[in-house]
Amino acid sequence: MTRRFLNYIDGKWREPKSEQWFQRENPANGEAIGSFPNSGPNDVSDAVGAAVAALERWQMTPAPRRAEILFRVGEMMVARKEDLSRDVTTEMGKVLKEARGDVQEAIDMTYYAAGEGRRMFGQVVPSELPNKFAMAVRQPHGVVAAITPWNFPLAIPCWKLMPALVTGNTVVFKPSPYSPLSASNLIALLDEAGIPPGVVNLVFGEDETGAALVEDPRLNMISFTGSLEVGREIGVYCARNSKRVHLEMGGKNAIIVLDDADVELAIEGAVWSAFGTSGQRCTAASRMIVQKPLADVFAEKLVARAKGLRLGDGLDPQTDVGPVVNQPQLEKIQQYVNIGVGEGAAIAYGGSRPDNGELAKGYFFQPTVFVDVRPEMRIAQEEIFGPVTDIILCSDLEEAVRINNNVPYGLVTSIYTRDVSKAFKAMERITTGIVYINAGTIGAEVHLPFGGTRGTGSGDREAGQAALDSYTEWKTVYIDYSGRLQKAQIDLE
């Protein structure tokens, strides 16, 4: 019998008032994982109400005490890392070694946020008047909605929940319907660690559930990671209704390979960045901008490596590339491949589903390399979110940077070169939020800001000290102990 999962509201696991459910299956083989609530407006309202009721008490809980709960969650994740990792692979397909990385990032973020419970630095500055003290401190926004995607089903929720919780916010968490199992695992850990009722709440559901959550007037902030189209809708709604908003919305990332690069190192980075997680990362490298003298060699080597990648169930240790997440994503990738061919690009390798009978049970797509790609083509401008990458030629560093910057997104760029002056020029001129030198386009570290420019986001950042800014407001405090009225700038004349 299929396992049935429940929402988590006000410290209790609850069946949905909507009485609606959706099924989730393993994308590698179609086997059932479980059924999850397709929550309705009443379920969302209950979750938000619980978060509102818990807010004052949680805000008044000393930050170090809040942090102790997160630390316990981190310890539990360490102890159960393998089970959590296998569940990540089972529900969204990435190979097990990558799933372990997903869980490790969740652990790192949880520990980092817990450490902020004893810091959470503000500002103390000299006052311009005598006998007056001036400082700025942080205060939480209030009730935060965390809406997360399926591709990093533990790491991204921890990027949002842990900073939000340690800074004193309460949270309503809605995960993607394509990765609900890991979300349930995470909330179970918080519950076991002793999070007070109502401080964190979990509602499963599809698009209508998310819309009901966004539109609840009691929410103070919405933190969303997902598609550009949905993010823009949320951003417009929040602007009209004076809600704080934090958006992370994808990328069209590039690896620039100059003619003085270490080619083998660049190929390693290209394979990992383009085809890891089946290209289902916002940081995936779907463009290779290669200087012309190196282009033929680079293309030949990249195609050879793509041909050698083994597709299969992510739990199989022999697998290099797992399935994509579902049938609609599979169809979207194929549509983009057809668009690329129609635009005049050539497929050097891949371009379709594998014809292996065993792989036909899952949502697999061949690692795909396009050549003869022009920068203005749709496959070079739009996010595909699959194991597809383009080789685009450039004449020099200046042209490479122009091509890199001229897309709707601005998340991450990598450049391979042995010339330190070119590396520094690239760092100055590339307009993405993250830049790698002689490394691929993935591998964020939780103590540095993560996010991008242009259509990638709203300007806020995940992780690092920047996460505290995302989930808090500044409150400026003046203490005048002069015993008389001081009229600020007037008294300075």
Give the active site residue among 116, 282, 394, 462: 282
DSSP lists the bridge partners of residue 222 as: 145, 245
CA–CA distance from 363 to each of 36, 95, 402, 448, 472 (Å)?
Answer: 21, 14, 36, 34, 41
186: number of Cβ within 10 Å: 24
* DSSP 8-state symbol, 206: -
282 as an active site residue: the answer is yes
Distances (CA, A) of 233 to 156, 220, 375, 379, 380: 21, 17, 28, 24, 24
Q: Residue 306 in contact with residue 273, Cβ under 8 Å?
A: no
* Backbone phi, psi, residue 140, to 5°: -70, 155
CA pair distance 348, 368, nearest whole angstrom: 8
Question: In this structure, are residues 182 and 29 in contact, taking their beta carbons and an 8 Å threshold?
Answer: no
Give yes or no for a contact between 475 and 460, defined as CB atoms under 8 angstroms apart. no
- Name the residue type at position 302: L
Q: Can you tell me which residue has the tokens 């100059």? A: 258
Q: Is 394 a catalytic residue?
A: no
Cα of 125 vs its chain's centroid, Å:
35
* Residue 399 φ/ψ, nearest 5 degrees: -70, -40
Helical residues (DSSP H) of 246-393, grouped into ranges: 263-275, 292-308, 327-343
Report the candidate in 277, 266, 342 with the shortest Cα–Cα distance to residue 309: 277
Catalytic site residue from 98, 248, 383, 462: 248
CA dihedral (252, 334, 351, 231) in degrees, to 10, reads 10
The rounded Cα 422 to chain-centroid distance in angstroms is 30
- 205 contact partners, CB below 8 Å, separation of at least 6: 22, 37, 38, 39, 40, 43, 44, 174, 177
DSSP 490: G
Neighbouring C-beta atoms of residue 129, cutoff 10 Å: 16
* Rg (the chain; Cα; Å): 24
Q: Write down the residue that tokens 């800074």 correspond to.
A: 167
Q: Where are the beta strands (DSSP E) in 214-280?
A: 221-225, 244-248, 253-257
Tokens of 23: 């099924």
> Residue 162 in contact with residue 70, Cβ under 8 Å?
yes
Q: Which residues are catalytic?
A: 248, 282
